[in-house]
A = this chain, B = another copy of it.
Amino acid sequence: MSTYTQPLVSVDVVLLTLKDNQLCTLLARRDVEPFKGEWALPGGYVHTDEDEVAEDSAVRVLATKAKLTSPYLEQLQTFTGRARDPRGWSVSVAYFALVPSSLLPADPGPNRRWVPVAEMDGSEMPFDHADIVRAAVHRLRSKTLYSTLPVHLIPEMFTLSQLQAVYETLLQGKLDKRSFRRHVEALGVLEALNGQTLQAGHRPARMYRVKPSMRGTLTLAPKNLDVLSVD
Contact = CB atoms under 8 A, between A and B. Distances in A.
Interface of A: 1-2, 4-9, 32, 45-49, 51-55, 75-78, 80-83, 87-89, 91, 93, 135, 138-139, 141-143, 145-146, 171, 221-225, 228-231
Q: Name the prevailing secondary structure of the A interface residues.
A: loop
A84 B169 CA distance: 40
Nearest to A6: B6
Instruction: Specify how many copies of this chain sit in the oligomer.
Output: 2
A88 to B, nearest CB: 7
Given A6-B9, A145-B224, A48 B89 contact: yes
A117 B2 CA distance: 30
A209 to B, nearest CB: 26
B49 A5 contact: yes
A93 B53 CA distance: 13
A51 to B, nearest CB: 8
Contacts of A80: 46, 53-55, 93
6 contacts: A4-B47, A6-B6, A6-B46, A6-B48, A9-B9, A46-B89
Contacts of A143: 231
Contacts of A4: 45-49
A91 B54 contact: yes
A4 B11 CA distance: 14
B135 A171 contact: no
A51 B6 CA distance: 12
A184 to B, nearest CB: 16
